[in-house]
Amino acid sequence: MSNHFADRLTAAISAKGSPTCVGIDPRYDLLPADISEQAGLNDPHDPESVVDAIAEYSRRIIRIVAPLVPAVKINAAFFEQYYWDGVEAYYELVQEARSRGLIVIGDAKRADIGHSAEMYARAHLRKPEMDGIDEMMIPDAITVNPYFGFDGVRPFIEAARRDDKGVIVLVQTSNESCTELQGLELASGGTLVEHVGRLVNQWAGDAGLLGVCGYSAVGAVASPRDAASMARLRAMMPNCIFLVPGFGAQGRGAEDVAACFKADGTGAIVTASRSVIYAYEDTKYLEMYASEWEKCVEHACKDFVKAVADVAQP
């Protein structure tokens, strides 16, 4: 089997039967009581206690979702807020998820130029050359920001090419004010998002980056704003797998994401974070399982997997 990122992701999607990704965004204030109240884990100002608690919660989420979904996306910000202890927990969690066979997307949204971008590629994508840093601690792919143009993305792409990793470039994000930049109409026609989409597809199309599956190691974050504009973007970016945020808590329904897929049902992987990992706050699941939060998460994850599988039918 090809070790290329897009081939591994495609194989994992086939194995699980649904192009889904669970976003790990652990918040201390939303942890289930049995975790936050564990002895020694109840001081919200002690970084070690707090990091231990969110790490334990995240490990349990990973164990629940690993048999159900092909991939997880681990949000670096939620760990970085706890300084270096949090960063260590982030890498350990990547290792935990990869060890359980999950494809891991490091949602770090890094970008810089020249040497600085190279350093970020070392931190988040390249095979480690440091003693004590296990290869499994490094994600399979990382999200990056395109504002610098190709200079800001090249070091990540080079790391991806060499080490069979993936680079997922922000194109269309899911927030309201994204239109302030991304929605701008260009003098040459089309919107900034479409221009960025074409650029990313061009970067992705380098022959050395294409997997057997036909997709590139360079993908794109693409959140549907409406079906028509997403269909245009989908048609413009045949080389790229889309990472589609916003399913569930961010308000996109199953029908909104259908346009992210090609007609054959490939080309996208849909993420859900809050609607799965905090399912125990949703009365629908809460009433079924009372305080058994892990059952709520499992049920919500299965519902998510099924909903996306239905949408992604060719």
Q: Enumerate the active-site residues.
A: 109
Asked if 192 interacts with a copy of itself (CB under 8 A), we say yes
**Residue 251 binds to a copy of itself (criterion: CB under 8 A):** no
CB 114 within 8 A of CB 150: no
Torsion over CA of 149, 207, 13 and 139, rounded to 10 degrees? -50
Candidates 139, 146, 248, 267; binder of a copy of itself (CB under 8 A) is 146
The span from the first CA to the last CA of the chain, in angstroms, equals: 24
Residue linked to tokens 């996109």 = 252
Partnered with residue 28 across adjacent β-strands are none
Shortest Cβ 15–a copy of itself spacing (Å): 29
Q: Does 95 bind a copy of itself (CB under 8 A)?
A: no
Q: Does 232 bind a copy of itself (CB under 8 A)?
A: no
Under 8 Å CB-to-CB from 66, ≥6 apart: which residues?
Answer: 97, 100, 101, 102
Kindly indicate which of the ranges 55-63, 115-123, 236-244, 290-298 contains the residues binding a copy of itself, using the contact rule CB under 8 A: 115-123
Cα 314 from Cα 308, distance rounded (Å):
12
Sole window of 144-152, 204-212, 282-290, 295-303 interacting with a copy of itself (rule: CB under 8 A): 144-152
Site membership for a copy of itself, residue 200 (CB under 8 A): no
Q: How far is the CB of 62 from a copy of itself (least distance, A)?
A: 19
Choose between 229 and 292: whose C-beta lies nearer to a copy of itself: 229
Phi, psi of 289 (to 5 degrees): -120, 5
Which residue in the set 17, 35, 38, 46 belongs to the binding site for a copy of itself (CB under 8 A)? 46
The minimum distance between CB 189 and a copy of itself, in angstroms, equals 8
Among 11, 17, 56, 85, binds a copy of itself (CB under 8 A): 85
Contact 32, 57 (CB under 8 A): yes
Burial of 185 (0-12, 13-18, 19+ CB in 10 A): exposed
Q: Judged by CB under 8 A, which of 1, 3, 39, 115 binds a copy of itself?
A: 115
Buried/exposed code over 199-229 (b: 16+ C-beta within 10 A; e: otherwise): bbbebbeeeebbbebebbbbbbbbbbbeeeb
From 82, 156, 261, 280, residue interacting with a copy of itself (rule: CB under 8 A): 82
The whole-angstrom separation of Cα 146 and Cα 162 is 21
The contact set with a copy of itself (CB under 8 A) reads: 25, 27, 43, 45-47, 50, 75, 77-78, 80-88, 91, 107, 109-117, 119-120, 122-123, 128-133, 137, 145-152, 170, 173-182, 184-188, 192, 195-196, 199
